[in-house]
């Protein structure tokens, strides 16, 4: 995404707080910070949150940094940022969030990124089913419903408040799907299929030639056709852009976005089973393929 010249001229000192975790998880936050630092005019000061009195320590650290904005990465940092109530913009990222009064980028992939790839990464699809938790993903499903019309897709969404309800809804969906014509979208929320239901979904998807896509590349390793997962440096750059925009427009309300900086994972065995062949242009766009080459 190109940067505007007006953004590039803004000198901004951004305080980034993120959890103190070990590798390889720490590398995720390091890449996001690299992305933030790519924005012209931004200087990053970073602080890893320890356990215990994280909020007080973060507050003490922030008070000494003379920062013009805060970026909180990860769920722990999100909770700390909500408790701080600073008088500078707070932007949240690298966690699954719903609208809550803070601006940021959720880890939930943008539905448009999925819909725009149906037909190129998949056989022709006109109906997409999904099971979701309204509290966590309701805002995303509302966006998806609007975008589905743009792509001439019928979105059939089923709400579930618990994992038990989700299992019932997934079973109902699997009874409804038409062989070789429909798709199932597994959103990234608390009712996403786990170890118990995912194998059943994948088994029936194989039998019914059902396209299954997800925001979790581990699902693709197990058999979903494709997943969209975070481009961490791209996420960092977008968070930096939101920071600068928040400073330039202090009276604008909070803005929460789905994740648009994404990479693609594809299960080639599943693609072959569905009769999908990718040309060289599409193969260049794929970041991760399964089964992994030995």
SS3 260: coil
Condensed to tens digits (0 to 9), the pLDDT of residues 246-258 reads 999 988 899 999 9
Shared-domain flag, residues 14 and 54: yes
Binned at pLDDT 50, 70 and 90, residue 268 comes out as: very high
Shared-domain flag, residues 92 and 145: no
Shared-domain flag, residues 22 and 79: yes
Shared-domain flag, residues 145 and 274: yes
Other beta carbons within 10 Å of 277: 8
Condensed to tens digits (0 to 9), the pLDDT of residues 209-233 reads 999 999 999 999 999 999 999 999 9
Shared-domain flag, residues 268 and 248: no
pLDDT at residue 265, rounded to an integer: 98
Is the pLDDT at 5 greater than 60? The verdict is no
Alpha-carbon distance of 221 to 219, in angstroms, equals 5
Instruction: Enumerate the β-bridge partners of residue 13.
Output: 43
- Cβ neighbors of 3 (< 8 A, separation 6 or more) are 39, 40, 241
- Asked if 248 contacts 242 with a C-beta cutoff of 8 angstroms, the reply is no
pLDDT at residue 70, rounded to an integer: 96
* CA angle, residues 34, 38, 40, in degrees to nearest 5: 150
- HSE at residue 177, side-chain half, CA atoms within 13 A, is 30
Alpha-carbon distance of 186 to 213, in angstroms, equals 6
Q: Return the CATH number at 54.
A: 3.40.50.2300
- Asked if 16 contacts 42 with a C-beta cutoff of 8 angstroms, the reply is no
Shared-domain flag, residues 126 and 225: yes
Shared-domain flag, residues 90 and 144: no
User: What is the domain count for the chain?
Assistant: 2
Condensed to tens digits (0 to 9), the pLDDT of residues 129-173 reads 999 999 999 999 999 999 999 999 999 999 999 999 999 999 999
Lowest mean pLDDT among 23-27, 64-68, 165-169, 189-193: 189-193
Peptide bond just before 291 cis, omega within 30 deg: yes
Is the pLDDT at 2 greater than 50? The verdict is no
Shared-domain flag, residues 127 and 165: yes
- Asked if 36 contacts 237 with a C-beta cutoff of 8 angstroms, the reply is yes
Is the pLDDT at 1 greater than 50? The verdict is no
Shared-domain flag, residues 280 and 255: no
Shared-domain flag, residues 179 and 238: no
**Looking up tokens 């904005």, which residue turns up?**
69
Binned at pLDDT 50, 70 and 90, residue 54 comes out as: confident
Top-confidence residue, 58 or 73: 73
Alpha-carbon distance of 58 to 133, in angstroms, equals 32
Average pLDDT of the residues in 204-211: 96
SS3 240: helix
Shared-domain flag, residues 199 and 238: no
Binned at pLDDT 50, 70 and 90, residue 56 comes out as: confident
Top-confidence residue, 85 or 204: 204
Shared-domain flag, residues 257 and 219: no
Among residues of the chain, what percentage have pLDDT more than 70?
Answer: 95
Alpha-carbon distance of 199 to 196, in angstroms, equals 7
What residue numbers bound the domain in which 246 lies?
Answer: 5-106+232-261
pLDDT at residue 294, rounded to an integer: 56
pLDDT at residue 3, rounded to an integer: 45
């Amino acid at each position: 995404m190109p940067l505007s010249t007006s953004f590039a001229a803004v000198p901004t000192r951004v305080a980034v707080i993120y959890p103190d975790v070990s590798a390889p998880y720490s590398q995720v936050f390091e890449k996001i910070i690299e992305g933030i630092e790519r924005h012209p005019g931004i200087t990053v000061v970073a602080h890893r949150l320890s356990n215990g009195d994280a909020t007080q320590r973060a507050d003490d650290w922030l008070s000494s940094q003379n920062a013009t904005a805060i970026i909180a990465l990860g769920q722990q940092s999100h909770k700390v940022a909500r408790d701080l109530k600073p008088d500078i913009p707070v932007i949240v990222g690298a966690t699954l969030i719903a609208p809550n009064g803070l601006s940021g980028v959720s880890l939930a992939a943008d539905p448009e990124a999925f819909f725009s790839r149906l037909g190129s990464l998949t056989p022709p699809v006109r109906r997409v089913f999904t099971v979701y938790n309204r509290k966590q993903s309701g805002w995303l499903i509302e966006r998806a419903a609007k975008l589905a019309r743009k792509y001439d897709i019928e979105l059939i969404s089923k709400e579930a408040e618990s994992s038990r309800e989700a299992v019932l809804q997934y079973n109902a969906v699997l009874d409804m799907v038409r062989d070789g014509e429909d798709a199932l979208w597994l959103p990234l929320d608390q009712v996403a299929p786990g170890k118990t239901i995912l194998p059943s979904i994948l088994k029936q998807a194989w039998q019914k030639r059902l396209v299954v896509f997800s925001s979790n590349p581990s699902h693709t390793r197990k058999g979903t056709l494709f997943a969209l997962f975070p481009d961490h440096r791209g996420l960092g750059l977008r968070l930096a852009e939101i920071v600068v925009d928040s400073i330039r427009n202090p009276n604008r309300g909070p803005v929460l976005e789905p994740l648009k900086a994404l990479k693609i994972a594809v299960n080639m065995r599943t693609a072959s089973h569905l009769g999908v062949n990718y040309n060289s242009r599409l193969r260049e766009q794929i970041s991760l393929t399964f089964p992994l080459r030995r």
